Amino acid sequence: MPTIEKNTQFIKTTAKSLGFDYCGIAKAQQLEDDAKRLERWLMQGMHGSMHYMENYFDRRIDPRILVPGARSVTTLLLNYFPSQQQNEDAPQVSKYALGKDYHEVIRNKLKIFMQMIQENIGEVHGRGFADSAPVLEKSWAMKGGLGWIAKNGNLITRKNGSFFFIATLILDLELEYDDPFIKDYCGSCTRCIDHCPTDAILDNKVIDGSKCISYFTIELKDMLIPENMKGKFGNRIFGCDVCQDVCPWNRFSQPTKENEFTALPEILNFSTNDWEELTEESFNVIFKDSPLKRSKYAGIKRNLKFIHP
């Protein structure tokens, strides 16, 4: 078996053995069309106060700058769809945040992945990322043949919908490249646009991040949420899943097999009163390994007061 084919097979097999649900490989190159779209999006201020998205523009559009000598971009998907759901009447936490922080879970998997590559293939240089670097993950997922970017900005797979974390492995290793996913199966469906509580999803596959509930409840560091958003959050205190919940493709979602994403009992069982009485000390203990620590105690309390004044 030729070396490139053998190495590619090893990458795919190892990805599966580490629990990743999908693995697609693309040639490392500059993303010219994405560069234009990203520049327009930033110029229109749709990133709100997320100024970090303005940084390292050249690295975002070309993985060979981010990882010198890069020849391949491997995209990995890890299912997080929960087997248990929250009580609908309780303050809502986005499904991706019900269990352990995915950054830590995926970072550990990528570390092992790199070790296995070097042990079995040889001296290979590269870096693995899980939403931790300027990488256009969804574009690389499309180029790796895994799915298409939907009207709500999420990557959708035909077999299992969109409840996936995306990880990227950029290597100075030449591999066999998958055919890009070029079809769009959203068709004339506009459910995500029609149901978005804050009208953050525009008609041309552009998301106004500065209007998204996830932006207000997680990314926004101001202690005041704009009054014009009053009444639009429902009972959501951390993130929002509406555009995914209404997507027809997510009827194919299956519960995750990753034990680390098992929902915390507190998130499943906390009532509004439990959240309101939660102390900072208890918050730091209960959610020490949770994505909720990103908003911090003060942020969660702010969000809670905004939906339950």
What does 230-250 look like in DSSP terms, one character per residue? TTSSTTEEE---HHHHT-GGG
Query: Taking each helix axis from N to C terminus, what angle separates 3-17 and 102-120, rounded to the nearest 10 degrees?
Result: 150
Helix (H) or strand (E) holding 148: strand 148-149
Instruction: Provide the token pair at 14.
Output: 């190892």
| Cα dist from 18 to 22, 162, 172, 253, whole Å | 11, 20, 21, 20
Active site residue 131: yes
Q: How far apart are CA 199 and CA 109, in angstroms?
A: 36
End-to-end CA separation in angstroms for the chain? 66
Catalytically annotated residue among 33, 131, 179, 184? 131
Using DSSP, state whether 72 is helix, strand or coil: strand
Instruction: Provide the token pair at 49.
Output: 């106060």
Q: Which residues pair with 79 in a beta bridge?
A: 164
Residues 6+ apart with CB under 8 A from 267: 86, 93, 97, 98, 290
CA 133 to centroid of chain Cα atoms: 12
Instruction: Provide the token pair at 298.
Output: 């003060």
As annotated, the active-site residues are: 131
